[in-house]
Amino acid sequence: MRRLFLLFLLPMVACGTPQEKCIAAATKDIRVLDKLIKNTRSNLDRGYAVRREEYRYSVWQICGKVEGEFVYCFSPETGYRNVPVSIDMNVERAKLNSQLAKRSQLAVQAGAQITACKSTYPET
């Protein structure tokens, strides 16, 4: 019973303190923008973008059993593959510069919000 209790307690502990939640909320946009910046830099380094494309294919599988014999059929499945996409390098550089400028603005705003989080929810 004790192990079961600990199993249910673990997700609640992992949620974080109110201060951590507040700081996470204040920095969410920066984290999203950091991923976009990383992606844009990767595109510039490669010279092309990568788009994830869905495709369908069939799998031969057992569909049931009739009079003791297995019945086989094709079952549709979905797969994904990365497809290279051409980019305009000048547009991509401009996009990166814009993202970096926006990140600087967000960092200033987040700094003020983090200070407010720390004063509202002091660590005990």
Per-residue confidence in pLDDT tens, the chain, 124 aa: 555 554 555 555 567 899 999 999 999 999 999 999 999 999 999 999 999 999 999 999 998 888 889 999 999 999 999 999 999 999 999 999 999 999 999 999 999 999 999 999 988 6
How close are the terminal C-alpha atoms of the chain, in Å? 31
Is the same domain home to 39 and 55?
no
Q: Which amino acid, 70? A: F
The first and second tokens of residue 96, run together, are 């990166």
The number of distinct structural domains making up the chain is 2
Q: Cα–Cα distance between 27 and 10 in angstroms, integer?
A: 25
Q: Cα–Cα distance between 66 and 96 in angstroms, integer?
A: 61
Domain of 102, in residue numbers = 16-47+87-124
Is the same domain home to 58 and 117?
no
The first and second tokens of residue 103, run together, are 């990140």
pTM of the full predicted structure?
Answer: 0.71
The first and second tokens of residue 120, run together, are 């509202």
Q: Cα–Cα distance between 97 and 77 in angstroms, integer?
A: 41
Q: Is residue 7 part of a domain?
A: no
